[in-house]
Amino acid sequence: MDTKEFWHLINKARFAASDEVPFHEALASLLAARPKQQILEYQDHFDTLHGALYRWDVWAAAYLIGGGCSDDSFTDFRAGLIAQGRHWYERAAASPDSLADHPDVIAAATDFEDRALFHEDANYCASDAYEQITGDSETFWDDWKQYVADRPPVDSPTDPLGEDFDFDDENEMRRRLPRLAALFLSEES
């Protein structure tokens, strides 16, 4: 599976999603129709894209949108950005402040909803697909360990990339993410 095919699957799941079938279920079903090797390749692309967003500026955007953001929530936010498709993923990666244009973010600011773009279940689509195929939730993780062991190690940062700064410093947030800060921070600061 190449990057183009990865994003094609994401978009196909987005279009298949409905009130009855959420995105992560649609994607898991699409993946379950593929060979196990492609499901592992999907997870590899997902992890690469997910890891590329492990940055302080993206976390700051999540912090504003979510009204705070723990490390677990940041994992869910990055999965949610991937679930938005290539266009929004690339916009957010290039400039997290561009999320101020996302309709769900605008609605969240208006409705005081703090979970826009956070999508925990999107983290587990590959393992859910494996479970659909095998009936066993652990099979994916066993195969994933073997898949990762068979390739060169990937250097994963232990801390987010970029410059760390205080998310509770509203002036700093306004300076770094002015458009998101205008949506989510009160004018009184």
Q: pTM, whole model, 2 decimals? A: 0.93
pLDDT of residue 1: 92
pLDDT tens for residues 94-152? 999 999 999 999 999 988 777 789 999 999 999 999 999 999 988 999 999 999 887 77
pLDDT tens for residues 128-137? 999 999 999 8
189 has pLDDT over 70: no
188 has pLDDT over 70: no
Neighbours of 71 (CB within 10 A): 8
Burial status of residue 127 (CB atoms within 10 A of its CB: 0-12, 13-18, 19 or more): buried
61 has pLDDT over 60: yes
Q: What is the mean pLDDT of residues 166-181?
A: 96
